[in-house]
Every structure is written in structure tokens, then in C-alpha cells.
Structure 1
Amino acid sequence: MGRGAPPAHLRVSGIHKRFGGVHALRGIDFEVARGEVMALVGDNGAGKSTLMKVLAGAYAADEGQFFIDELPVSINSPQDATAQGIQIVYQDLALCENLDVAANLSLGAEPVKPGWGFLPRPLRPIDDLAMELKAQKAIDRLQVRTLSSVRAKVGGLSGGQRQAIAIARAVGADSSVVMLDEPTAALGVAQTRQVLDVVKRLRDTGHAVIYISHNMRDIFEVSDRICVLRHGANVATWNACETTTDEIVVAMTRGLDDGAPHAA
């Protein structure tokens, strides 16, 4: 971390992950602060998705340490990651198109009406009003202006609106770290603008944001720092305002000539 950089909220040190004979992550060091967008970039096979899945608990690291606000924590499952406030928005979004926005935002954690405690939770009636209010609060927090109603069916929404809903669901899960996997992939110009604005507001709400993308224009617009991985190892971390697209691309494809990482 460079001079003047905010303290890390999530930090990992010396992360290794192997899949048989493939050494996918080779001693990765990585950090992100609250109120920061940290871009994670690299060519295909660089280790970006593997690192995100380790942070999300989908894969257990073979070696390494995890810290939240410099306190050591264990992340060996998705439940561990959720308990530490870490949420991931995958590229496929995992939304239910036949349900409305409110139902998607509460999926698996629907509020239930009081007075039905004698029934097992899955059999208790859902409190639709509480679910709607909860959804509206999450939408308002990210200022998603293009959504007409939280009762709109997800199947009728645009790609940008769906991405915003998936991000709002992650925020509504009491998260402090939100990881975004290619959030503007296959979106048009207007929808991409929607999503980038939501990412900026996510940062403004004090979340630590990890942003994976191949789109350098988007990366430089929303990111505070950029971490480059290559062949499963750290190459460099730069302040976004102190580097260029050319420098990032060279680091991704060839590494650094002097062999030493540049720390932001």
C-alpha cells in the first residue's frame, strides 16, 4: 500500500491454489479498502476468477491468510465469506426471471409475517409489504433511477437494470465487500453507463469493491487502483490516475521489464 492509501478492509496474503498439477494462484497478495474500487485485471488464465472464487469461499485456498480490518479470519466456504460480509455478483447474475425485483432481492431470506412461529420457517407466510420496503431501500441506496417499480418482473428488465438488481441484492445482504465479475459484458452504451454509475455509488456507500473487467475504458472510469495478475501471480498494483492503458496491457501480457512489482 502506498503513501496516503486508505487502510485495507479486506486483505489476503500468500494465497496459493492448486488444481491437480495446475498451480492456479502462486502466493497472491491482494487488498481493497472501504470506499475504493480495486480493479483486478489479467489475461485469460491469469487467476482472476480463481482468486474471486477463493474470496467468495467457492474454493478453499491451499495456503495463505485472510484479514478483515487486519483481524485474521477463515474463509473456507460461501457461508464463511457471507459471514465476513463478502458477496460476489457473477456474470450470469443468477436472477429468477419469473419473479419480481422485490422477490429476487430477498430470495432465500424472505421476511415472514409475525405470529406464525409455531410453523417451520419455510411454511410461514411471506410478509410482502416488508419485502417490498426492504427492496425499495436497497434500490434507493444505489439510486437506481431507471426502475419503475420493485414489483416489475425481472424477465422484462434490460441488461443494465438486471445488473443493478444483482448488485443491490449483494448490498442488501449486509455486505462490506462486493465483487463484480464483468458487470458490463454484452451491454450497450446506455446500459453500461447505468451500471458504471451504480458501481460508483456502491463505492460512495462505503463498500470495498472488487471489479473484474476486460474493458479498459470502464476500468479507468470507475477504479481507484488496478491490480494486475499474470500466470497466477502478482505483477503490479497502480493508482489508476498514475498509469495508462498501455502500461497495464504490457504488464498483463509481458510482465514488468525489471521484474519488480510497482506497488500503489
Structure 2
Amino acid sequence: MSEGRWLVEMRGIIKRFDGVEALSGVDFAVGYQEVVGLLGDNGAGKSTLIKILTGFHTPDAGEIYWEGQPVRFRSPREARALGIETVYQDLALVDKMSIARNFFLGREPVRRIGPFSLLDMGEMEQVTRRVLEEIGIRVRSVWEPVSMLSGGERQSIAIGRALHFGVRLLILDEPTSALSIKETRKVLGYVEEVRRRGLSVIFITHNIYHVYPVADRLVILSHGRKIGDFRRAEVSPETVAEIIAGGMILPEEERS
């Protein structure tokens, strides 16, 4: 395994909670400009693995490497400083706030007028509109409330925000779980655009059919163990679904 192959690599990750082993020696890696589908049923260990990668938890054993260099994240801020950003299911959007305010939430540009600092509304509008258009989203006004948007459009705000603020590894937590087929296709289009622009993506889901069209590689967890790691061309979505349901790797001759 070449040290230069991976953007991030996790080796032998073990995590226990109250004596129960949530992760049992998991190896997980993401390459440059790669979309990795992280799959498994509830309780498989997906969330725990990602929380270790993003600094919410520290592993009891194992190592993490970023571009071949060992790292140990003690907080989400440290992971974010390297360019790791997570878009969670709830999206961390404020419904009553505008699209632009949500886009810059906590990072608002300001301009000085004498002793006063005022929000730079012009820059907020210009940047929000430009970034959203770059990933294929046109809105009537960046000042309309987020509550007026569809689920797919809300995802676009969160993804565009991550892109603008220097993300290198984007983690999407069940981004299509509550969307229609049409909206799911839109989000998959955003993922393809993110990859085209040179970013890497971890797409967390329990539904293989939601990630298969855009994944370069598929990693399957079950009860805290990695039970599969396939290039998309090596395995059909039906076979992956069977592995997830059965919690075990199928023999080589049964793959299609």
C-alpha cells in the first residue's frame, strides 16, 4: 500500500464504549478525488468510525494518516482545519434564516464603517449565488428563507458551503435518506461535481442503490468489523445488498 495513494487512511481502529467494542480493528481509507460509499445497517459502526475521523471520539487503538503523515484529532476543529467537513442529515441549517445567512453561518464577512462592523451583504449575495451556480443550483433570491427550499436544494446549500470554505474531504451522512427519486438524482449530481472539482467524498448510507451510481469504491461494515471493500466494477448492487443483509462476505464465484 503506497503512502502516497491515500488522502486519509485509518489503520486498525478500535473503539469501546462501556466495555463494548464498537469498532474491532477497522481499516478504512479514501483516495484522492475518490467517492467511497460507507455502507452497513444501523449499529454497523459507520457513525463511530466517522466520529473518530472527525475528532468527536478518540480511538482506543489504531492510527490515522493524512496524506501519509500520522495525525491524532483531539477535536472537530482540528479535523476541520485540515479540510474535513461533514454534512449531517439535519444539515445544520436554520429554517428561518436566508440562504445567504445559512451559507456563511458563523463565518459572515463584515465591513468597517468607522467604529462599526456591519455584515457585508453584497459579498454574501455574490459569493452564495456564484458557488451555488457552480454546482448547478439557481435560486430566485439568496435572501429567501431556507424553509422555502426542497430537500435536494437544502443539500446543495450545505454542500456548496463546504466547498467554498476549503474542504478537501467531504463526508455526507445519509444525504438522500428523506428525498424523492428526482431529488436523490440531483444530490448525486452534486457529488459528481464535487469529485470533478478534485475533492474526495465519503457517502454514508444503508442503501446501496443510493450511492452505487457515483461510488468509486464500496466499504461495508457489520457489527464493528469491515466485511467488504470493493471497487464498484467488482460487485453488483444486489450482491452488496446481500452482504449487508447477511453480515458476511459472499464467495468470489457468487459475485456478479
TM-score, with length taken from structure 2: 0.91
Match of 2:254 in 1: none
- Of the structure 1 ranges 174-183 and 21-30, higher mean CA displacement relative to structure 2 is found in 21-30
- Whole-angstrom CA distance in 1 between matches of 2:228 and 2:131: 35
Aligned with 2:137: secondary structure?
Answer: coil
CA–CA distance in structure 2, aligned partners of residues 193 and 163 of structure 1: 12
Give the counterpart of 1:144 among 121, 137, 150: 137
Contact kept in structure 1, 2:35 and 2:214, CA below 8 Å: yes
* Structure 1: runs of 5 or more not aligned: 259-264
Structure-2 separation of matches of 1:25 and 1:159: 32
Map 1:1-264 onto structure 2 (within 5 A).
Answer: 7-114=5-112, 124-145=117-138, 147-252=139-244, 253-256=246-249
Distance 2:47 2:83 in 1: 19
Secondary structure, aligned partner of 1:166: helix
CA offsets 1:148-172 (integer angstroms, 9 cap, x no match): 3322210110111011111112222
Instruction: Decide which moves more: 161-170 or 247-256.
Output: 247-256
Q: Please give the secondary structure, in 1, of the residue aligned with 2:70.
A: strand
Q: How far apart, CA to CA, are the structure 1 residues paired with 2:19 and 2:31?
A: 34
Q: Which moved more, 1:22-31 or 1:61-70?
A: 61-70
Matched residue of 1:227: which SS?
strand
Q: Percent identity?
A: 39
Distance 1:143 1:27 in 2: 40
Instruction: Identify if the C-alpha distance between structure 1 residues 72 and 161 changes in structure 2 by more than 3 Å, giving closer, same or farther.
Output: same
Contact map agreement 2:42 2:206 (CA 8 A) in 1: no
Q: Is the 8 A contact 2:109 2:124 kept in 1?
A: yes
Pairwise CA distance, 1:115: 5.5
Aligned to 1:262: none
Q: Deviations over 1:219-239 (max 9, x none)?
A: 211101000111111112101
SS of the aligned residue for 1:143 comes to: coil
Q: Residues of 1 paired with 2:137 and 2:72: CA distance?
A: 34
Shift of residue 248, structure 1, vs aligned partner: 1.4
Question: Does the 8 Å CA contact 2:11/2:62 hold for their aligned counterparts?
Answer: yes
**How far apart in 2 are the matches of 1:47 and 1:182?**
14
- Structure 2 stretches of 5 or more lacking a match? 252-256
Residue pair 1:102, 1:151 contacting (<8 A) in 2 also: yes
Alpha-carbon RMSD? 2.2
Residues 66 and 141 of structure 1: CA distance in aligned 2, closer, same or farther (over 3 Å): farther
Structure with greater proportional strand content: 2
1:245 and 1:13 mapped to 2: Cα distance?
Answer: 26
Aligned residue type for 1:27? G
The residue type paired with residue 86 of structure 1 is I
Q: Using the TM superposition, give the Cα deviation of residue 257 of structure 1 relative to its aligned residue in structure 2, in angstroms.
A: 5.5
Q: Which residue identity lines up with residue 155 of structure 1 in the other structure?
A: S
Q: Which runs of 4+ in 1 moved over 6 A?
A: none
Aligned residue-pair number: 251
TM-score normalised to structure 1 length: 0.88
